[in-house]
Chain A
Amino acid sequence: MHKIALIIKREYFIRVKKKSFLLTTIGVPLFIIGFYAIIIAISLDESGGSDKNKIAVVDDAQLFNGKIENANPNIVYSIIKNETESNYIKKYQKAGYDAFLFIPNDSVAKTKSIYNLHSNTSMNLPLMSSIEETINEAIKKKTLIANGINPEAFQKMIHPVELENTVDTETGQKKSFADVAYGVSFACGILIYMMMLIYGTQVMRGVTEEKTNRIAEVMVSSVKPFQMMMGKIIGIGAVGLTQFAVWIFLMFLMQMAIPLIFPDMMQQINNASTTSSENISMASNIMQGLSSLHLGKILFAFLFYFLGGYLTYASIFAAIGSVVSEDQQEAQQLVFPVMMPIILGFVIMTKAVNEPNSSLAVFGSIFPLTSPIVMMGRIAYDIPSWQIVVSILCLICSFLFFTWIAGKIYRTGILLYGKKPSWKEMIKWAFAKS
């Protein structure tokens, strides 16, 4: 046990001390957060970011009655009186306008009409649709009034309905936040998928390196091959967990630090949310949704399925690393069949987040080669406990089984040079008596 600890220590520190580890562990989240900060800053910056577009409107149809209801702060409308379309085309630029909109006289009566927006450079799409909306609203209002309907009364009539799902359990009722669960599930699934691949291949490369460096033979004269393999797997797994811990810590830190660094931004967010009630309800919905999830359960599941999945696949990857020598292409051929269940798991996960209780999702979350990814896609929803228990047991069994098999292949492979062994030979090693 002392020796395995030494190996774990070496495998761990040699990776953690690397510059690339520091870069990915601290750099990546900083980069992501910085990226989002810029996006938020840009989207909040309603005045400065993009220029205001001045638009001249010649309203022949008296559509706006001299007053344009404008919700878009990037557009400034000015109604020009006593001009004709052909005349004003020559003038609007000189008058300081970016564009000129002409509304012909007969427009309101038509069911479908095309208006002309003149400009010297092409206008962007969001601006165009904003203008379209303004016109549509005005036409709607005018038509309603013309038909004797109070526009405000009409607005109340077509008020949209929101559907909320309440889940009835034995402990009582609670709201279901499918969209939040969806997001959390998907993020966890992808994270597990990525971590399993990244750290699994790291184990494989480490083993191949030991073999081609021929240090393996020196090592096995001091420690058992199984200790060597487990030391490497655990050491690299610990690197992964460290990375998680640093990431979570950084996220937490950022949440605390952002308001201190950008006091303006927080104010703007507050202002923005007080001005639009929609933002408030969305933000509070996400907060409520998050608190409705069992974060503890999800965190536990995440750690368990990461470790279970990682240990299962890392031992398979270690076995592959032990049988190939210099040629990386050989490794590719062997890795391919191992990648298939991982990718299959990912595909099932993308289905499972939509239909967490479909039979495919249930199967995928119990079958141990896909369960780490698929179960993470379901765990945020309320799923029957027996499925979680069965899935956990299956994963533990599979990881014991695969480590045992992989240890046997590793033991033979690590000291064997030259020709790559066939699958048949490897299976023979796997089940050989020691």
Chain B
Amino acid sequence: MDFLSLHHLKKYFADQKAVDDISFNISSGSIFGLLGPNGAGKTTLIRMITGIFYPDHGHIDFNGQRFNPMVDSTKIGYMPEERGLYKKMKIGEQALYLAQLKGMSKSDAMESVKKWFVKFEMESWWNKKVEDLSKGMSQKLQFVITVLHNPQLIILDEPFSGLDPVNANLIKEEIFTLAKNGATIIFSTHRMEQVEEICDHIVLVNKGNKILDGTVHQVKQDYKENIYKLGANVIAEQLMTGLFEVVKYEPNQLLLKLPEYTTTNEVLNYFINHQVKINSFNEVLPSLNDIFIKIVEDTTATRKFESIQ
């Protein structure tokens, strides 16, 4: 079931089309990757989903109903890319305050804050101020504040930047747990290896348009170029064939590109017939990083300002 559906969203600013007719669905309990180069319109899109901006056109369905920012904002946790907390306010009070603004009662907020502070070993921070924290620590705090009120939809914009591997792992595990417990997570980042690791479904936006939509597996299939890696000791004369094209030649390893009419079995038969000892043979799927670069480079990377009539 779709937890969030965007229908033909448009948001134009004075001199650019920040979001120009984008639609997609996010299923309940999934981890969704919202990707795009800088200035693609991700933040604008997220701001419409969190109810900060009203779309100029189109609408959002939230949990099966028309999105109502007044009511639904309490069910959303948003961690913006630019972290922000009151620097001079005590950490415990601040967490309580922000949780109450999300509609929790004071006692519920207190219970939840305590639970999360224990989980993340942050109890000793209660009476400290944010300005006393290191960058990584305040990052952890920001994450905790985002999920304090048990939101059904969690939007994380670059949640791992500035975190060491240990803390990054801690938060990653937490993201998986939250998703398993039913929360829907939108994950926005430029780090493609994280997306491959974490996300089920991705959407790529550029210049205010959606240019890719699918599961990570599906996208890789769609963009694969029939390249296979053969682990074998092959001599050059044995490659004189029309069955495939050699992309890369190394003593113990070959990258082969198969034309559409060639099947993998034909290739394997060919090598077997030539008495080649095969150690391994597997398909090479493109990384999301490659796909990202390929697609984005096709369109101009930086947006130009344009006038809108």
Contact = CB atoms under 8 A, between A and B. Distances in A.
A214 B86 CA distance: 9
Interface centre among A221, A223, A224 (most CB of B within 10 A): A221
B133 interface: no
Given A14-B89, A415-B52, A434-B54, A218 B84 contact: yes
Contacts of A215: 84-86
B97 A222 contact: no
Contacts of B87: 213
B51 interface: yes
Contact of B97 (A6, A210, A213): A6
Nearest to B83: A214
Nearest to A416: B13
B52 A222 contact: no
A191 B301 CA distance: 58
Nearest to A18: B88
B266 interface: no
Interface stretch (B73-81, B232-240, B289-297): B73-81
A97 B145 CA distance: 83
Given A14-B89, A214-B84, A221-B73, A3 B101 contact: yes
Interface string A1-38: 01100110010001000000000000000000000000
Given A14-B89, A222-B73, A434-B54, A217 B101 contact: no
Contacts of A218: 78, 80, 84-85, 98, 145
Interface residues of A, number: 23
Nearest to A227: B101
A221 B50 contact: yes
B89 A221 contact: no
Interface in B52-79: 52, 54, 70, 73-74, 76, 78
A415 B80 CA distance: 12
Nearest to A228: B101
A144 to B, nearest CB: 77
Contacts of B145: 218
A217 B84 contact: yes
A374 interface: no
Contacts of A331: none
B226 interface: no
A304 B220 CA distance: 68
B82 A6 contact: no
In this complex, which of B80, B88, B145 has the most chain A Cβ atoms within 10 angstroms of its Cβ? B80
A219 B101 contact: yes
Contacts of B102: 222
A213 B86 contact: yes
B89 A223 contact: no
A411 to B, nearest CB: 9
Contacts of A224: 70
Nearest to B145: A218
Nearest to B70: A224
Contacts of A2: 103
B16 interface: no
A216 interface: yes
Nearest to B157: A217
Contacts of B89: 14
A6 B84 CA distance: 19
A408 to B, nearest CB: 13
B92 to A, nearest CB: 14
Given A221-B50, A221-B76, A415-B52, A214 B101 contact: no
A221 B51 contact: yes
Residue among B89, B100, B103 with max Cβ neighbours from chain A (10 Å): B100
Interface of A: 2-3, 6-7, 10, 14, 210, 213-224, 415, 425, 428, 434
Given A213-B87, A217-B84, A221-B50, 15 more contacts: A6-B100, A214-B82, A215-B84, A215-B86, A218-B80, A220-B52, A221-B52, A221-B80, A222-B74, A222-B98, A222-B102, A223-B73, A223-B101, A415-B47, A428-B14
11 contacts: A214-B80, A215-B86, A217-B82, A218-B80, A218-B85, A218-B98, A221-B76, A222-B102, A224-B70, A415-B52, A425-B14
